[in-house]
Amino acid sequence: MKKILLLGFLFAASLVVAAPNCKSPIAQGSLAYREGNFEKAIELWQTCVEQGFQSADLYYNLGNAYFRDGRVGFAILYYESALRLNPANEDYLHNLKFAQGLTKDKVEENGLEENPILSAFFKAHHALSLETQLHIILAIVWIILLLSILRVLSANPRTKSILTGSVFPLALILGIIGFSAGYKIYVMETFHKGVVTVKSADVMSGPEDSYQTLNALSEGTIFEVMGVREGWVQIRLGEKVNGFVKTTEVGIVK
Amino acid sequence: MKRLIFVLLFFAIGANAEISLEFDKDRIEVGKPFEMRIVIPTRELAEPREIPKLTTANGFILNGIDSTDTQLRDFFGRGTNVRKYNFKLIAPRQTGRVQIGVITWKIRDTEYELSRPVVNLQKSYDDAAVAASLIPSKKIVYEGEQFSVNLALHTYEHFQGNLNAVSMDLGNDFIAHRSDLANLQFVRSEKAPAEMDANAKFAWLAPVKSGDLTIPAFKFKYLKRGAPKIVEENKSQGGFSMSFKSIRQEAEEAETSSAPVSIKVLPLPSTLRPADFSGMVGDYSFEGDFDRTTLKVGEALTLNLLIKGDGKPGTLTDPKLPDFADFRSVPPETEINKKVVGNKVITTKSIKVFLYPKKKGSFTIPKITYNWFNPTEKKYQSKTLGPWEITIEKGDDNVVAALPVSNGSPNVQKEDIESLGSDIRFVHEVKDATLTQKPMFRSFFFWFLFAFPVFVYFIFGTLVKRYRKNANNSALVRKAKARKNLKTSTTQAQEALKKNDGKAFYAALENGLIGYLSDLSNLEFRGMIKAQFNENLQDLGLTDMQITEVREWLETCSFARFAPSVQTENERKEALQKFEKLCETLEVLK
């Protein structure tokens, strides 16, 4: 029995040791950034991203390193990626806005006053990440199940009423969080952003170099991705710009 | 003169007639012919005399003079013979109250001045009611030199308002800063009170190329009073129809335009032109400095540059910045503003260059030069800033660490750094970098956990429902109770069999059977008489054979209880099996 336990422990430990992590490159990248070696920081952090590691802060730091290195397009791309995971972070929003201010095709503020109700809804919508919302949804569903079973088993009418009364607010919260999570999933599944990462990207009328150049987008310009195929990204920017750009000249926010 | 007027006046009163001056038209229009008449009673004409003489002024043209004798009748019908001298004139082009000239008359070799007639000249209804003109401050400028254009508007008596610009396009040859014409004020003309003037600086321009350029004509629309028209109206009322004729003047829309303005634009001289000429033309200043010259690694250094001048409005090129090889830099932050100061538009450009030292040491930042062409001096000018000596010291470890990485509560540090100039915020400590996984909402496990409670609740609900349904069925309850009690009795019988206690064995079987029947039928069979016993079993649906079997079994048990030693162990086991078989057959009871 002891041998089995020992073997089990060793197997679990080997799993933990073998589990991939990117702590070392992240720490080294931070050190390089502190020393002002932004290229090295980019290289180290980019390695983690390419290995499939995902973190809003990692994307944000990578955005900062690109920004310091003078590559505003990539900086905006990674700020947007960080915001996709954590849309309410003020630092992400600040740096994105700051980087956008340095692009040629600046997005001007329309100057309209922010609607406080809509603003509150937006904040509440982004207060929790989608992952957290899904966990809460599961927890509420199981709590409702438990309360419902207790209600069925309970013979005391007063207890039954209390349990019924507890289920309704939980169901309401479940509905609100479910709606918010559902909308996030809808946006995630249907709307993808892209960013121009080179100084100027030509927008072509078709997915080949032989097509006509319709427009040129400058570095850092954010557009809507309609689709990706064979080295070309079909994009849309407002009502006027609609065409294809090379995947090598843009980054898609993931 | 006074004597002549007195004599004429005396005779005029005595003769009940007057010397008068009259015109053939109520409205005398510019550039149009008209007649001015002097009417003198015939008997007052002194002899010898000559024809009255008109010496014209202010552009009036006298085309001729003639006279007619006629008779004027007063209110009472009395007639007076008069002579009319008709001066045939053509009005000049100017409007307003204008003196026609001087009328003199030579009588008895002495020349007397009769009158200095003044007439109110107005534009024809067919003429434009608004005159617009563009007046440039300079007609010859250098390429890129700023000059201003005044817009002058004049409205005539028949102008009726609603003045709107149709085209004020300056073309593509100029960079322009337009002023706000909302404050354009119209003031009454001193010469003609019915006319208005407005004059304002319209725009500041700078030509983008040399040659003979033209500022296109500006076009305006407005309303003016039209020429009088005779309008006939027919009205019918109560069976009567009437016809009226009236003179009407209706407002009509008209358009006017200014004359295009020609500007001669000289090219910039090619001699002594600097190699890195900025392209700006005007009077410029160039200032700038670093916010500090000594700092530590990890701190930021800001170069503030300010260019100010009166060349192309709103446009200023950047100075050529040196290569900051020993520093890392972000794209410079620039802000450009323009403001009307006096008669010129002054454009200001502020450039902030943020530099981050890479290492410690002393570094020289090369000089920065900005040049321009001054059209007043007619020569190229330049100003040079720097060079600067920058000393970078070894960074304080704490400061360096705090500068790029936030530790969770660095509010004060953030503001400190941001106050150096607008900048991005710090990097964060990465705590939760995980391998990219399939989103939770795409995993089967999530949807299983989400849907499973519903399934559990459904199963649970079904089970509870079934349980409650069974609990409410008395027959089933009785059956279950009967089985339970029968099982107890059978167990007791088996124990008695093991102990070889025949009395207890048969007592258990007898009690078990009677109890089983009682539990199944909800009737108490114990102590029941034979006839009633049979009747009840019949009512419960047992066949006569089954009833007989039960009776025989009970009797066997009663006999065996009182003579237990008669039965062997095997016979008892057999009896137990028969008992169990009998009970199974009795389970069909209602």
Cα separation, B575 vs B567, in Å, equals: 10
Whether A185 and A196 map to the same domain: the answer is no
| Half-sphere exposure in the Cβ direction for B502 (13 Å, CA) | 18
Tokens of B449: 């956990």
Residues B113 and B130 in one domain: no
Q: Residue B276 domain-assigned? A: no
In three-state secondary structure terms, A69 is coil
Task: Name the token pair of B247.
Answer: 């003179």
- Which pLDDT score, from 0 to 100, does residue B331 have? 65
Q: Chains A, B: CB contacts under 8 A, how many?
A: 121
Q: What is the pLDDT of residue B415?
A: 37
Chain B neighbours among A 184-213 (CB < 8 Å)? Answer: 185, 188
Whole-angstrom CA distances from B252 to B70, B127, B132, B247 are 42, 12, 19, 16
Q: Are B372 and B281 in contact (CB under 8 A)?
A: yes
Q: Per the CB < 8 Å rule, is A138 touching B426?
A: no
A155 and chain B in contact, CB less than 8 A: no
Residues B75 and B128 placed together within one structural domain of the fold: no
Q: What single DSSP character describes residue B49?
A: B
Nearest to A19 by CA among A46, A52, A41: A52
Q: Note the pLDDT of residue A16.
A: 45
The verdict on residue A126 lying in a domain is: yes
What's the pLDDT score for residue B18?
67
CA distance A100 to A164: 52
Domain annotation covers residue B273? no
Which residues in chain B are contacts of A60 at CB distance < 8 A?
A: 427-428
- In this structure, the answer to whether residues A213 and A227 fall within a common structural domain is yes
The CA-atom distances, in angstroms, between B57 and each of B62, B102, B105, B116, B275 are 10, 8, 17, 10, 63
The CATH number of whichever domain residue A81 belongs to comes to: 1.25.40.10
DSSP tally for chain A: helices H, then strands E = 9, 8
Q: What are phi and psi of A127, to 5 degrees?
A: -65, -35
- Residue A68: give the domain boundaries: 18-100
**CATH number of the domain encompassing residue B360:** 2.60.40
Tell me the helix, strand and coil percentages in chain A, rounded to 5.
Answer: 60, 15, 25
Residues A239 and A212 in one domain: yes
Assess: ipTM above 0.85.
Answer: no
* DSSP codes of every residue in B149-216: EEEEEEE-TTB-S--EEEE----SSEEEEE--GGG---EE-SS-TT-EEEEEEEEEEEESS-EEEEEP
Taking the C-alpha atoms of residue B7 and residue B13, their distance in angstroms, rounded to an integer, is: 10
Question: Would you say residue A11 lies in a domain?
Answer: no
By C-alpha distance, the chain A residue nearest B435 is A53
Query: Which among A54, A74, A100 is the end of a domain?
Result: A100
CB of B433 closer than 8 Å to CB of A58: yes
Query: Does residue B584 sit in helix, strand or coil?
Result: helix
pLDDT (tens digit per residue) in A167-220: 999 999 999 999 999 998 888 888 889 999 998 888 888 888 888 778 788 889
User: Can you list the residues of chain B whose pLDDT is less than 70?
Assistant: 1-18, 44-46, 182-183, 329-331, 395-422, 437, 563-566, 588-590
* Cross-chain Cβ contact B433/A52 below 8 Å: no
Q: What is the pLDDT of residue B417?
A: 39
* Kind plus residue range of the DSSP H or E element containing A79: helix A72-85
Asked if B432 and A98 come within 8 Å (Cβ–Cβ), the reply is no
Report which residue type is found at B553.
W
For the purposes of burial, counting CB atoms within 10 Å of the CB of B103, is it exposed (0-12), middle (13-18) or buried (19 or more)?
buried
User: A57 touching B, CB under 8 A?
Assistant: yes
- Asked if residue B141 and residue B77 are part of one domain, the reply reads no
Chain B segment 369-388 residues within 8 A of A by beta carbon are: none
Tens place of pLDDT per residue across chain A (254 aa): 556 555 555 555 554 444 567 888 898 998 898 888 899 999 999 999 888 888 889 999 999 999 988 899 999 999 999 988 888 788 898 899 888 888 766 544 444 556 778 878 877 888 888 888 999 999 999 999 999 999 888 878 888 889 999 999 999 999 999 999 999 888 888 888 999 999 888 888 888 888 877 878 888 988 889 888 888 999 988 776 788 999 999 999 87
Query: Cβ neighbours of residue B360 under 8 Å, at least 6 residues apart?
Result: B296, B297, B392, B393, B394, B395
Residue B358 domain boundaries:
284-395
